[in-house]
């Protein structure tokens, strides 16, 4: 299984970016997929997750970020709007080898077996 994340870059505060994560060897629609991020000097944290039409978001990104999935392209997306300097981090996509993740643990990175290489998002003030 390979996940290839892309779409990061440098953007001014208030701007938007869309991250993509293309999968091979695993179908996103069959399981829970997620985005995490890790800022410099901090632990990796949950951003958003999706299973079929159900979506979950971390409180800091609610109302600004949107996770989605294109089944035909087997690609996961993260639309990020109204970006803030505190959103600066390396963003990782992730998915599982099993089926749907239990809701109580889908915010834990230990729930996911496969990870993309990360894409840097930098938001300037």
Using pLDDT thresholds of 50, 70 and 90, give the confidence band for residue 29: confident
What are phi and psi for residue 111, nearest 5 degrees?
-75, -20
What average pLDDT does the segment 55-80 reach? 96
**Structural contact between residues 90 and 120, judged by C-beta atoms closer than 8 angstroms:** yes
Confidence of residue 3 (pLDDT cuts 50, 70, 90): very high
Residue 28 has pLDDT above 90, yes or no: no
d(CA 118, CA 65): 17
Reported as a pLDDT band with limits 50, 70 and 90, residue 73 is very high
The reported pLDDT for the residue numbered 54 is 95
CA–CA dist 112, 83 (Å, integer): 26
| Three-class DSSP category at 30 | helix
């Amino acid at each position: 299984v390979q996940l290839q994340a892309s779409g990061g870059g440098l953007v001014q505060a208030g701007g938007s970016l869309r991250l993509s994560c293309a999968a091979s060897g695993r179908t996103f629609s069959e399981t829970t997929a997620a985005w995490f991020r890790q800022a410099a000097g901090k632990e990796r944290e949950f951003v958003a997750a999706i299973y079929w039409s159900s979506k979950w978001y971390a409180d800091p990104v609610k109302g600004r970020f949107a996770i989605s999935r294109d089944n035909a392209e087997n690609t996961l997306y993260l639309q990020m709007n109204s970006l803030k300097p505190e959103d600066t981090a390396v963003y990782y996509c992730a998915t599982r080898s099993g089926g749907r993740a239990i809701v109580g643990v889908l915010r834990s990175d230990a729930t996911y077996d496969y990870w993309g290489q990360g894409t840097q998002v930098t938001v300037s003030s």
